[in-house]
Amino acid sequence: MALLGIDGGGSHVRVVVTDAQMNVLAQTTGDNVNPSSIGREESGARVRAAVRQAISDANLTPGDITAAAAGIAGAADDHSADWVRDMLQIVLPTARIVPSSDFEIALVGAVGERKGVIVIAGTGSAAFGVSVDGRKLRQGGFGYLLGDEGSGYWMGREVLAHALRELDGRAGKSQITPRVLKEIGAATAGDIIAWTYRQGVQVRAIAALAPLLIQISEEGDRVAQGYVARAASELANLVRSIQARLDLKDGPIAFAGGLLETDNRLVEVLMRRLHIEERPRPLYPPAIGAAMLAAQAF
């Protein structure tokens, strides 16, 4: 039995072909497949191209694939399930297709089972959980204008806002201000504003300031530590909300996203908030999580 897993949750699509024991037979990577940004037609074409390549690399034919699961960012709602199924049936006409979400495949890969909570903190933030009886719940992930608390963007925005307040004389002195001025090549409040809005709001550029804030907090700056603690509290609230609503207080917890993938102060404080002694490390990548979901289709 050959299985196929598709991870379309980031800036690239990753496709893996495995056997029933999750031994990898082939894997390939392609460009962004988020239909919200490139449209469904182009997204489907890119996904199918990556699928064909992975099957070819495994020296198999499409008919050899028994089941396939896909988690694609921008196609995680119930209305997209039929599109995902129809789009993949073109290239996998005999396979059982399992539409999923980028959150679910990341959770399954990280903890090795379809139960628990995963909290994600990168440019944005969100959490996702699956209960023992299969109920699913997502919290957060509302985007930089309405949410993403505790995310890279949220922390980067706090860095810039603090620097502006300190330059105004409305905030206490911190290493945040001189360090962020140097980081973005600014000298005045006007420079910060110009940098922030130079071509509209620079979401990724602002989020890229989060590691600087974490570093300053690790050097002992109390103000920076306060912002990092607030970020950790926001992320912990996402997890606790899902645990309470899905009765998952004893279920596994997984961390994902660039800010939670290494040992740092944000991770340390978040672990304390959630009463975790060791940093959760993913067992498998999301594409394998998708293959594991495909295996459960029977």
Q: What is the mean pLDDT of each run of 10 residues along the chain (298 residues)?
A: 89 92 94 88 94 96 96 81 93 95 93 93 93 92 89 95 92 90 93 86 89 96 96 97 92 92 94 92 94 90
* Amino acid at site 298: F
The single-letter DSSP state of residue 220 is T
pLDDT tens digits along 199-232: 676 888 999 999 999 999 999 999 999 999 999 9
Domains 2-112+284-295 and 115-281 fall in the same CATH topology: yes
Write the CA distances from 82 to 47, 91, 166, 244, 282, integer angstroms.
Answer: 15, 15, 52, 31, 30
At residue 10, the pLDDT reads 67
pLDDT of the residue at 298: 73
Q: What is the CATH number of domain 2-112+284-295?
A: 3.30.420.40
CATH classification number, 115-281, choose in 3.30.420.40, 3.40.50.150, 3.40.190.10, 3.30.2130.30 = 3.30.420.40
What are the C-alpha distances in Å from 177 to residues 169, 174, 198, 223? 12, 6, 20, 11
- Domain segments of the chain as ranges: 2-112+284-295, 115-281
Predicted TM-score of the model (pTM): 0.86
Yes or no: say if 24 and 82 are a contact pair by the CB < 8 Å rule: no
